[in-house]
Chains A and B, each alone.
Chain A
């Protein structure tokens, strides 16, 4: 799983969603905390697609990305993205490296609100819920 996908996933347990205040600026069930096993993070090179990153960037949650990157000790991101990010190819490239090339292969995702964990195996997170959580 890439950090891009992580940047859009929240905990979908019904009781959690109901109390997490999804519409707020900072919902409590997002972002999920990444607990990788040692060596569970892989860097896989991928072709840089400037247009795609540009189109995606305004949809990213910068706060969440910043928090995740510093928790995983991958990168220290600036407080806020540069104003003219659309023209800043070097910046877009660094975003691409962060959200497209970092893969969480083994580990777990943990909800900070309800504590539910979702295992990640072979790079595929298991977001299946039990019947009583729907």
Chain B
């Protein structure tokens, strides 16, 4: 876990000052990660399948192809929209956003890039939208801020439940919310998930790249109304459980046979295994070819 969590330094409305807002928005790595996560959030919303008649069954069947067929334009709520990096991606996909953020400075930067409406608000206080207005909600790296109490009056549980209740109210029936967040500890994940489910949502946590520390991403995928529990979208690369199972098996076999000859290091199999592992972590890996794992010719 990173030592430099902004959540520890200052409350969000103070942390994202003018300078920080500018930095955040011009950092190409930030932009890259944010846009990737926004796209994944959109995928998890599975918007194109949501028609009032077909409902949840259709969205379960084609979850994998989400985002390939254009859907009719929807009204989405962008929670913790910040400087509008996520908003502009959603607009490119043809939807309309209303964004809320606690940092005025971030929003002022955001006004340049997003055409949707923005307003200043603390999501821990809930928000005053009429019931059933939105077709979906997304949030990129905002939710974890609610777990920290920066003021005496702040209680994580209260703020989270105010937020989820307000969110539940303003989404229409059948709408989904995809909320990406950076939990600091398993307790935070548990707190956020339980509060969300208590507020009436169905759904759960989707974890992408569970094998990698760096690429691992947590998405809270929630739905209003029809249950999401059985057809919760799969996290990208779900082979974690299989892998531990095969490890277990190998260990048992090893025990039986007693000490065995060590397999050669940097053989073709070893290289392939390594590459497979890195692929699972979502890294950029060269494809396998007939030259994989071959020794280079000795040269004079």
From B74, B121, B126, B133, contact of A8 by CB (8 A): B133
Q: Interface stretch among B55-63, B102-110, B176-184, B233-241?
A: B102-110
With beta carbons under 8 angstroms apart, the residue of A5, A10, A49, A51 that contacts B98 is A5
Contact status A127-B128, CB under 8 Å:
yes
B115–A131 touching, CB < 8 Å: no
A125 to chain B, nearest CB (A): 5
| B122 CB to nearest chain A CB (Å) | 6
Say whether B117 faces chain A, with CB atoms less than 8 Å apart: yes
The B interface, classified by DSSP as helix, strand, loop or mixed, is mixed
- Taken together as a complex, chains A and B put the C-alpha atoms of A128 and B100 apart, in Å, by 10
Q: Quick one: given A5-B117, A52-B96, are A127 and B127 in contact (CB under 8 Å)?
A: yes
Q: Which residues of B contact A129 (CB under 8 A)?
A: 122, 125
Give residues 1-27 of A contacting B (CB, 8 Å).
1-2, 4-5, 7-12, 17
Query: What separation, in Å, do the CA atoms of A2 and B104 have in the docked complex?
Result: 18
Cα distance A11–B130 in the bound complex, in angstroms: 10
Asked if residues B119 and A55 are in contact (CB atoms below 8 Å), the reply is no
Cβ–Cβ contact B127 & A124, under 8 A: no
Given contacts A55-B74, A124-B107, contact A2 B121 (CB under 8 A): no
CB distance from B53 to the nearest CB of A (A): 15
**A83 CB → nearest B CB, Å:** 20
A84 at the A/B interface (Cβ < 8 Å)? no
* A107 CB, nearest partner CB in chain B, Å: 14
A84 CA / B135 CA spacing, docked (Å): 23
Taken together as a complex, chains A and B put the C-alpha atoms of A51 and B120 apart, in Å, by: 29
| Contact A126 to B120, CB < 8 A, known contacts A8-B133, A52-B73, A134-B125 | yes
Q: Which residue of B lies closest to A52 (CB)?
A: B73
B74 / chain A contacts, CB cutoff of 8 Å: 55
Cβ of B129 under 8 Å from chain A: yes
A134–B165 Cα distance when bound, in Å, is 14
Contact partners of A49 in chain B: CB under 8 A: 73
Say whether B132 faces chain A, with CB atoms less than 8 Å apart.
yes
Q: A46 interface residue, CB < 8 Å from B? A: yes
> CA–CA, A39 to B164, complex, Å?
38
| A55 B151 Cβ-Cβ under 8 A | no
Of A8, A122, A125, A126, the residue contacting B130 (CB under 8 A) is A8
Task: Determine if A51 and B73 form an interchain contact, defined as CB atoms under 8 angstroms apart.
Answer: yes
B75 within 8 A of A: yes
Q: How far is the CB of A76 from chain B (nearest CB, A)?
A: 24
The residue of chain B having its C-beta at the shortest distance from the C-beta of A129 within the complex is B125
**Chain A residues with CB under 8 A of B121:** 127-128
Please, what's the 1-or-0 string for A84-124, where 1 marks a CB less than 8 Å from any CB in chain B? 00000000000000000000000000000000000000111
| Chain B interface residues (CB < 8 Å from chain A) | 72-75, 96, 98, 100, 102, 104, 107-108, 111, 115, 117-122, 125-130, 132-133, 135, 151, 153, 162, 170, 172
